[in-house]
């Protein structure tokens, strides 16, 4: 038996490398998975097919999560496809890197809208169902960047730091109803823009990690599955760093 048998998990931004790993891990543990995507329909369809081929259940749902009504549509899509929802993984994100003095207002707003506001909208959309069933898991994918900052990523750092605050505030609001809210903070992971970096740059970054290597998307996915499972029933309002020791607090 899988740790997530009988549950429905919605993973936002699942068409990306990290989101895909999370979706596959949830499916491997028995969850029916809603594969959210914004524009990458082909990648989402490929992921759904891969999960189904492995014996899992998955459906793709398109939504622009910077719009509140679209977040509601995501939750409704989960209910329509699988009859309910038990786990929400707020993973969708984007970057528009540049120094603050060069950062345009639209670059700031686009990152805040997707990375922070989108998570808020999805959380709000799913809470009514979670409160009704007096159970639910919300896992927000933040970043070590939200804890230490990075040059050229003021918008991204602000959004990811905001996710940590959102995690703790919502955790306090809903704990009495049996709902847990936690965050996972990846460090230097082989996903997204990282895979496009030159080998020498990857080597330089990896040398700063105490464990001496970049992490894999599956490392993050394993942490998400743990927090979504009954093994983490007494954990809420926490940030689990999956960073090889990069940020020791």
Query: Catalytic site residues?
Result: 156
φ, ψ at 24 (rounded to 5°): -65, -40
CA angle 149, 153, 156 (to 5 degrees): 85
127 three-class SS: helix
d(CA 233, CA 10): 19
182: its two tokens? 């936690």
**With contact defined as beta carbons under 8 Å apart, do 60 and 48 qualify?**
yes
d(CA 36, CA 16): 10
Stated as kind and residue range, the H or E segment containing 174 is helix 154-174
Bridge partners (DSSP) of residue 180 are 137
**With contact defined as beta carbons under 8 Å apart, do 171 and 237 qualify?**
yes
d(CA 163, CA 116): 6
Closest C-alpha among 124, 98, 101 to residue 110? 98
φ, ψ at 52 (rounded to 5°): -65, -40
> Which residue's entry shows tokens 């749902």?
61
């Amino acid at each position: 038996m899988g740790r997530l048998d009988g549950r429905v998990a919605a993973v936002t931004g699942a068409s990306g490398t990290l989101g895909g790993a999370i979706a596959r891990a949830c499916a491997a543990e028995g969850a029916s998975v809603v594969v959210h995507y914004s524009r990458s329909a082909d990648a989402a369809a490929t992921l759904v097919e891969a999960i189904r081929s492995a014996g899992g259940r998955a459906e793709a749902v398109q939504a622009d999560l910077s719009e509140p009504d679209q977040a509601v549509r995501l939750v409704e899509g989960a209910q329509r496809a699988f009859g309910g929802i038990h786990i929400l993984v707020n993973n969708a994100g984007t970057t528009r890197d540049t120094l603050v003095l060069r950062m345009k207002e639209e670059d700031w707003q686009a990152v805040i809208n997707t990375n922070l506001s989108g998570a808020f909208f999805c959380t709000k959309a799913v809470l009514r169902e979670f409160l009704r069933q007096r159970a639910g898991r919300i896992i927000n994918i933040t970043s070590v960047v939200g804890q230490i900052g990075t040059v050229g990523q003021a918008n991204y750092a602000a959004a990811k730091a905001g996710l940590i605050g959102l995690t703790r505030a919502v955790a306090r609001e809903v704990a009495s109803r049996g709902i847990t809210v936690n965050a996972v903070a990846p460090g230097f992971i082989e996903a997204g823009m990282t895979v496009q970096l030159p080998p020498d740059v990857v080597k330089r970054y990896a040398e700063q990690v105490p464990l001496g290597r970049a992490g894999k998307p599956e490392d993050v996915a394993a942490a998400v599955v743990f927090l979504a499972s009954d093994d983490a029933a007494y954990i809420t309002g926490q940030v689990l760093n999956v960073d090889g020791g990069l940020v020791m607090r």
